Amino acid sequence: MRVPKIQIAGLLLLVSVLLGLTRPSGLSDVIAVRHWSYGDYTRVVVELARPVSTKVVHLAENPAADKSERLYLDLEGFWVGRDYEQAIVVGDGLLRAVRLGQNTRTKTRVVIDVEKYERHRLMFLTHPDRVVIDVFGDSKRERSPRLMQGKIRTVIVDPGHGGTDPGAIGIGGLREKDVTLRLARVLSKRLTEKGFEVVLTRTTDKAVSLEERTAIAEANRGDVFISLHANAAPRRSVNGIETYYPDKNHERHSLRVAMRENGVTREQLDDLQRTLAKLRIAEMSPQSAKLATLVQAQLVTELPSRYGKIQDLGAKKGPFYVLFLSNMPAILVEAGFLTNRMEAKRLRNPEYLESVASQITVGLERYRQAGNEIARRSP
């Protein structure tokens, strides 16, 4: 007996529903899952098609039920179906794997199997929307900014942009990503000569995400984060040096730079600022401001003796992802305007980059010295 095609189609639909293979309407997608491992610290990023609200639940090991220690979080309104049938193996001694599955027809569950666990941190980022789960494998002591200032050992140097992201492009095709990498290499050398340990977030022309840059900083237990950039403006007459530090507030004239460096529009920047305002920076912001002020002053007072007038654009508050995601005093240095003919010429000059690096180093030394004096006066 022949079964009508319409009945076969109906049976197939019924089976697919029972197996949970059909996708209900109105659900969003999990775009990608990434992870970075650094010894006793691992960062897991789940990129999503839209924002989500969730929390991380920690479950202890349960030998009776043959359950290992794990973390999980639910993404309500998201569909992965059978896209993640295989676990994403991490195997770094801290995490075993990351598993995703369709927990219900309208909810995706993310499970992180852990081997070693002390604590975790959950963050929500936008543009693109993503959930960030940081897992720590040992008891890291909470930073005390006042005492930490005089104990700076490890400096994270972050050359902005790279790879497929050229950053700003200026006079004669000068690219921001090339300037920042050259400056970072020189700055690393100068800081090393002064006894600092230096970690670069990139050493070649490659793209490094903001999550990975700050994961590198956290993993290496950086004491200070210095992000290097070069500026651009529609008017070629605009010039000068400015240094930014993270603060929940912002200054109006910093928004243009923030849009460009974060890669967002003006409307998206409002969302970004609301996201950043939720991150804990109250303790680090005053120290970041102090460091930014010292570095900026050093650059604009010492460079003119060799290179003529330098426009002092000041130390400013700015909403930059790369600063807010660093759990340490952090600054962003805009070393000049690629779109200004005079400053583009300077930024091509290795000797000028050497001078900029030297003055940033002196500013950092003064910041450390100020911390030592505070520590000596403390009971």
171: amino acid identity, one letter = I
Look over the chain and give the mean of its residue pLDDT values, rounded to a whole number: 85
Cis bond upstream, residue 128 (ω within 30): yes
pLDDT at 250: 54
How far is Cα 238 from Cα 80, in angstroms, rounded to an integer?
A: 49
The answer to whether the CB of 148 falls within 8 A of the CB of 223 is: yes
Mean pLDDT score, 355-366: 97
Mean pLDDT score, 55-72: 88
Instruction: Tell me, yes or no, whether 100 and 237 share the same domain.
Output: no
Instruction: Tell me, yes or no, whether 125 and 149 share the same domain.
Output: no
Let me know if residue 242 belongs to a domain.
Answer: yes
Let me know if residue 167 belongs to a domain.
Answer: yes
Beta strands 224-231; 241-245: pairing state: unpaired
**For the segment 131-143, what is each residue's pLDDT rounded down to a tens digit?**
999 998 875 544 5
pLDDT tier, 320 (very low <50, low <70, confident <90, very high otherwise): confident
Full DSSP string of 255-277:
HHHHHHHHT--HHHHHHHHHHHH
Show which of 136, 155, 176 is a domain's final residue: 136
Mean pLDDT score, 341-354: 98
How far is Cα 30 from Cα 190, in angstroms, rounded to an integer?
A: 44
Q: What is the CATH number of the domain that holds 82?
A: 2.60.40.3500
Instruction: Tell me, yes or no, whether 195 and 155 share the same domain.
Output: yes
Let me know if residue 17 belongs to a domain.
Answer: no
Instruction: Tell me, yes or no, whether 184 and 275 share the same domain.
Output: yes
pLDDT tier, 240 (very low <50, low <70, confident <90, very high otherwise): very high
Let me know if residue 100 belongs to a domain.
Answer: yes
Instruction: Tell me, yes or no, whether 215 and 97 share the same domain.
Output: no
How far is Cα 23 from Cα 244, in angstroms, rounded to an integer?
A: 46
Instruction: Tell me, yes or no, whether 160 and 63 share the same domain.
Output: no
How far is Cα 366 from Cα 364, in angstroms, rounded to an integer?
A: 5
- For residue 121, what are the β-bridge partners? 134
**Pick from 274-283, 314-323, 357-366: least confident:** 274-283
Q: What is the CATH number of the domain that holds 267?
A: 3.40.630.40
Q: For the chain, what is the domain count?
A: 2
pLDDT tier, 14 (very low <50, low <70, confident <90, very high otherwise): very low
Which pair of structure tokens corresponds to residue 84? 């993640």
Residue 71, domain extent: 28-136
Instruction: Tell me, yes or no, whether 192 and 328 share the same domain.
Output: yes
Show which of 136, 168, 192 is a domain's final residue: 136
State the residue for tokens 């019924």: 14
Residue 64, judged by CB atoms within 10 A of its CB (0-12, 13-18, 19+), counts as exposed
Instruction: Tell me, yes or no, whether 273 and 294 share the same domain.
Output: yes
Let me know if residue 21 belongs to a domain.
Answer: no
pLDDT at 26: 94
Can you say how many angstroms the Cα of residue 53 is from the centroid of all Cα atoms in its chain? 20
Instruction: Tell me, yes or no, whether 129 and 155 share the same domain.
Output: no
The answer to whether the CB of 20 falls within 8 A of the CB of 105 is: yes
pLDDT at 231: 95
Let me know if residue 94 belongs to a domain.
Answer: yes
Q: Please give the order of strands across the beta sheet that includes 88-89.
A: 57-59, 70-76, 107-114, 95-104, 88-89
The tally of CA atoms less than 13 A away on the side-chain side of residue 89 is: 2
For the cut 50, the answer to whether the pLDDT of residue 18 exceeds it is no
Closest C-alpha to 177, from 157, 199, 160: 160
Closest C-alpha to 273, from 241, 317, 210: 317
pLDDT at 276: 52
Cα–Cα distances (Å) from 328 to 35, 245, 322, in that order, read: 21, 11, 11
For the cut 90, the answer to whether the pLDDT of residue 44 exceeds it is yes
Show which of 101, 136, 171 is a domain's final residue: 136
The answer to whether the CB of 356 falls within 8 A of the CB of 335 is: yes
Give the other-Cβ count within 10 Å of 29's Cβ. Answer: 16
For the cut 80, the answer to whether the pLDDT of residue 55 exceeds it is yes
pTM of the model: 0.78
Instruction: Tell me, yes or no, whether 132 and 281 share the same domain.
Output: no
DSSP 350: H
The answer to whether the CB of 254 falls within 8 A of the CB of 316 is: yes
Let me know if residue 2 belongs to a domain.
Answer: no
pLDDT tier, 11 (very low <50, low <70, confident <90, very high otherwise): very low
pLDDT tier, 211 (very low <50, low <70, confident <90, very high otherwise): confident
Closest C-alpha to 344, from 172, 98, 162: 172
Let me know if residue 23 belongs to a domain.
Answer: no
Mean pLDDT score, 113-121: 92
How far is Cα 6 from Cα 11, in angstroms, rounded to an integer?
A: 9
Beta strands 197-200; 154-159: pairing state: parallel
Beta strands 70-76; 330-337: pairing state: unpaired
How far is Cα 208 from Cα 321, in angstroms, rounded to an integer?
A: 13
Provide, rounded to the nearest whole percent, the portion of the chain with pLDDT above 90: 62
For the cut 60, the answer to whether the pLDDT of residue 258 exceeds it is no
Instruction: Tell me, yes or no, whether 198 and 273 share the same domain.
Output: yes
User: Taking the alpha carbons of 145, 149, 153, 154 in that order, is the dihedral positive or negative?
Assistant: positive
293: amino acid identity, one letter = T
pLDDT tier, 16 (very low <50, low <70, confident <90, very high otherwise): very low
pLDDT at 179: 98
Provide, rounded to the nearest whole percent, the portion of the chain with pLDDT above 70: 80
The answer to whether the CB of 221 falls within 8 A of the CB of 154 is: yes
